[in-house]
Homo-oligomer: A and B are copies of this chain.
Amino acid sequence: KEPFALITGPCQLESLDHARMMAERIAEACAPTKTGFIFKASYDKANRSSISTKRGLGMEEGLTILSKIREEFGCPILTDVHDAHQCAPAGEAVDVIQIPAFLCRQTDLLLAAGETGAAVNVKKGQFLAPWDMGNVAEKIASTGNERIMLCDRGTSFGYNTLVSDFRGLPIMAATGYPVVFDATHSVQQPGGQGTTSGGQREFAPVLARAAVAVGVSALFIETHEDPDNAPSDGPNMIPIEEMKALIGNLARYDSISKES
Contacts and interface: CB of A to CB of B under 8 A. Distances in A.
Interface of A: 46-51, 55, 82-85, 102-103, 105-108, 125-129, 131-132, 135, 138-139, 142, 155-161, 163-167, 169-170, 187, 190-191, 195, 200, 203, 206-207, 209-214, 249, 252-253, 256-257, 260
Contacts of A156: 126-127, 155-156
A191 B103 contact: no
Contact of A252 (B84, B207, B256): B256
Contacts of A129: 159-160, 191
A50 B161 CA distance: 25
A167 B206 contact: yes
A135 B253 contact: no
Contacts of A169: 206
Given A166-B207, A213-B210, A50 B138 contact: yes
A137 to B, nearest CB: 10
Nearest to A135: B50
Given A51-B142, A131-B191, A157-B163, 7 more contacts: A47-B107, A50-B135, A102-B102, A163-B163, A163-B165, A167-B200, A253-B253
A189 B200 CA distance: 22
B200 A206 contact: no
Nearest to A170: B206
A32 to B, nearest CB: 16
Contacts of A51: 107, 135, 138-139, 142
Contacts of A260: 249
B203 A213 contact: no
Contacts of A46: 106-108
Contacts of A163: 155, 157, 163, 165
A90 to B, nearest CB: 16
10 contacts: A48-B105, A49-B105, A51-B138, A55-B107, A127-B190, A155-B163, A159-B161, A210-B210, A213-B213, A253-B256
A209 B203 contact: no
B135 A49 contact: yes
